[in-house]
Copies of this chain bind each other. A is one copy, B any other.
Amino acid sequence: MSEFAKTDRNRVKRGHKRALYDEDTVHRILDSHFLCHVSFEIAGQPHIVPTSYWREGNRLYWHGASKSRMIQHLSGGNPASVCVTQLDGLVLARSAFNTSVNYRSVICFGVPELVTDDAEFDRQMELFFDLLAPARWGQLRPMTAQERKATGMVVMEIEDASAKVRAGGPGDADEADWPIWAGHVDIHTVSGSAHEAPEGAQAPLNHGVLPTYHRLRQEK
């Protein structure tokens, strides 16, 4: 099993028993979502931006407006860190100190660069759409030259990364005499109703393929 090296920046110091460095765990958590937060720094000022992303191999991809501060800065050889967090539950212990949340999170470090090759840009866009709505890329009205120009895509080789996972109950059985309810409450992110755009004659929505982000549970 391949592992990310522990370096000064990715080593989990607090709660280190919850830390995992193997590529399988890191990649599995990265593949469980499409929303990340990107951290970068301009002239001593930390910035943070939420954005959609996808993964291929040991590389993260995301895109934005070519002229956005984030894309401009992160296509110039500057470092970034990227975090993906799945919130899985609230852990209600008998004490404040043991109260916690259940989660799966990954933090990745690297130096993004711009994807400049048109064929690679297209191939990555297809991978992204396969994540959001399989097979849709080939059905979309094709991108225009102007739209391509306005879209900046970056790729970040993951230089090092760490995952942190907490699951299950409060683990404070030694305080079981304290007379309040203790346990954990699940939190789920689920896909809900599909709302058809009112205008135009539409092909039917293929519920088996389209809605949507196939890793979400369907809401009953």
Residues on A close to B: CB < 8 A? 9, 13-15, 35, 37-41, 44-50, 52, 64-65, 67-69, 79-83, 85, 87, 89-90, 92, 94-97, 99, 101, 103, 105, 107, 109, 125, 129, 132-133, 136-137, 139-144, 147, 150-151, 169-170, 172-173, 175-206, 210-213, 216, 219-220
Contacts and interface: CB of A to CB of B under 8 A. Distances in A.
A71 to B, nearest CB: 9
Query: For the complex, would chain A's binding face be called helix, strand, loop or mixed by DSSP majority?
Result: mixed
Copies of this chain present: 2
B202 A191 contact: no
Given A92-B133, A195-B169, A187 B185 contact: no
B96 A147 contact: yes
A189 B106 CA distance: 20
Contacts of A205: 181, 183
Given A48-B81, A82-B48, A181 B199 contact: no
Contact of A191 (B35, B47, B187, B211): B187
A102 to B, nearest CB: 10
Given A65-B15, A147-B95, A186-B193, A87 B48 contact: no
Contacts of A87: 35, 189
